Amino acid sequence: MNSYRKEIERRRTFAIISHPDAGKTTLTEKFLLYGGAIQSAGAVKGKAADRHAVSDWMEMEKKRGISITSSVMQFEYDGYCINILDTPGHQDFSEDTYRTLMAADSAVMVIDAAKGIEPQTRKLFKVCAMRDIPIFTFINKLDHEARDPFDLIEELEKEFGIGTYPMNWPIGCGVGFKGVFDRVKRAILTYSDAHRGRERLSAIECDITDTDKLDQLIGEYERRELVDQIELLDGASFDFDIDKVRHGKLSPVFFGSALNNFGIETFLENFLKMTTSPLPRKTEGETIDPMDDDFSAFVFKIQANMNKAHRDRIAFMRICSGKFERGTEYFHVQQGKNVKLSQPQQMMAQERSIIDEAYAGDIIGVFDPGIFAIGDTVCAPNHKVKFEGIPTFAPECFRMVEQLDSMKRKQFSKGMNQIAQEGAIQMFIEPGSGLERVIVGVVGELQFEVLESRMKNEYGVEYRTYPLEYQHIRRIKSDSDPKKLRLFEVKWVQDFRENNYLLFSSEWHIRHVLEANEGLELCEFGEE
Ligand code: G4P
């Protein structure tokens, strides 16, 4: 047994996801606050203008009010070492979110009690379900008018095809919100106005069988209604089964109010007990146990210019096994070279600090001189492994992007390349054309806006774009020489590694080109 087993065992790494405005940021802040990692939550400060979430650091995010990039935070709570991966809250950024989920062992989904499942949560939930990621649901804003809790859990079960297990049950909502019934303690925890704006006020606890006290605390009518509801719930809901929770088949559901510090402790305590320490990860060939002595990690996110003053580029890695030690040489599998990971750092909100060591389950950011790509493996030189790649979604919207100012050719090329390496866009060139014109492919149109704004703000470059009508991309797998192919209304492009791709405007064109060129083999984007 290695000496750092204990460190790995106490780690919990999860992603937090929600539709914008459901309260993800507020809940994250409260986690940090309860863990002692920050001294006051933004919401406690009161004024909306003062408040910007500690996890939002990009200019665009603040302006748009949406979280575009994912951030990572570490904090301690009750002996656990917790890594939270914040995910972008806009539906056009599902690819980035998807990658973030690949680095997490479980997901916490925040839902607005008045709204229920919204489009973004629907998508993200499906990704979790696809990968059997355990999902914990926090139904937020009970201090506001809310939908019927039975309706809400039924919606979750129907939409996602998994079971739910309410860990607690709300007593009223909005101005009539009286607290929750804790199904583990078989007691109620009362909510009062005193929770508003206060930090960590303990709720009054009362056993469900203590009728007189309950009548005093929540009222006779509410007590009777609650008892009926609990009976219904106990009879009708799924049985609690930790195995199902850990395989993403049963979602524990918590009701509360993040803004009013209600339900956070219950959530954290139960969540931390139910989730697992870092899970094993598959490589091409073997499964890597987090407790292995040898270090291994994969890159799931690359981000340039996080700090404008530094013009830096950071590769974020999830450590899958062993212990990371600063200054040690590791092996970068995709480059086939030993590397020293310089300036290894961890994030606490906007503060970054250089670290000397980190363990399986942790996320570290390392300085990237332009060598890393998403999905790359870094491991101990004496135990070479290669993690299964992170799937890339095929771009579906394409535009020709042409620089306007020939004096800024270098910046144009640098910016486009860096943003492409981050995986935010796919960049191609038409063989034979100069570098002042590139073809950009993205999954969602909003990424074009982000590209334009980042090129302007971070690289000082403006450009012109022309929409292209192509919607499908395929890589040429066979040795066929693209110059000799019979192509009709199809564009031949190359990526920076000179892989050949064809862009098509319809499935019909794909079939047509295959029929006209014997021996031509095409494969999906991202396939090896
Ligand atoms: P997000 O990250 O999921 O997008 O949501 P965020 O936490 O930013 O919360 C969105 C809005 O909902 C915020 O209000 C926040 O204060 C509010 N909110 C979060 N949790 C609760 C809750 O439990 N009850 C109530 N009533 N509101 C909640 P805002 O007006 O946009 O900002 P601010 O004025 O509060 O700063």
Per-domain boundaries in the chain: 7-274, 281-379, 397-524
Alpha helix segments (H runs only) across 219-299: 220-236, 242-246, 264-274
Is the beta carbon of 261 within 6 A of some atom in ligand 1? no
Is the beta carbon of 109 within 6 A of some atom in ligand 1? no
What is the structure's pLDDT at 53?
46
Residue nearest to atom 4 of ligand 1 (CA): 21
Ligand 1 atom nearest 27 alpha carbon: 7
Cα–Cα dist 220/35, whole Å: 37
Cα–Cα dist 452/465, whole Å: 10
Is the beta carbon of 264 within 6 A of some atom in ligand 1? no
Cα–Cα dist 247/106, whole Å: 10
Task: Name which CATH class applies to 281-379.
Answer: mainly beta
Domain covering 397-524 in this structure, CATH number: 3.30.70.3280
Ligand 1 atom nearest 19 alpha carbon: 3
The answer to whether residue 63 scores a pLDDT higher than 60 is: no
Residue nearest to atom 21 of ligand 1 (CA): 259
Q: In terms of CATH, what superfamily is 7-274?
A: P-loop containing nucleotide triphosphate hydrolases (3.40.50.300)
The answer to whether residue 352 scores a pLDDT higher than 80 is: no
Is the beta carbon of 120 within 6 A of some atom in ligand 1? no
Ligand 1 centroid to residue 121 C-alpha, Å: 17
Reported as type and span, the H/E element at residue 161 is: none
pLDDT in tens, 461-514: 999 999 999 999 999 998 888 999 998 899 999 998 789 999 999 999 999 999
Residue nearest to atom 32 of ligand 1 (CA): 48
Six-digit token string for 10: 């106490």
High-pLDDT (> 70) share of the chain, %: 87
DSSP letter for each residue of 14-60: EEEEESTTSSHHHHHHHHHHHTTSSSS-HHHH--GGG---TT--SHH
Answer with the residue of higher pLDDT: 333 or 50. Answer: 333
pTM over 0.95: no
Is the beta carbon of 66 within 6 A of some atom in ligand 1? no
Ligand 1 centroid to residue 40 C-alpha, Å: 15
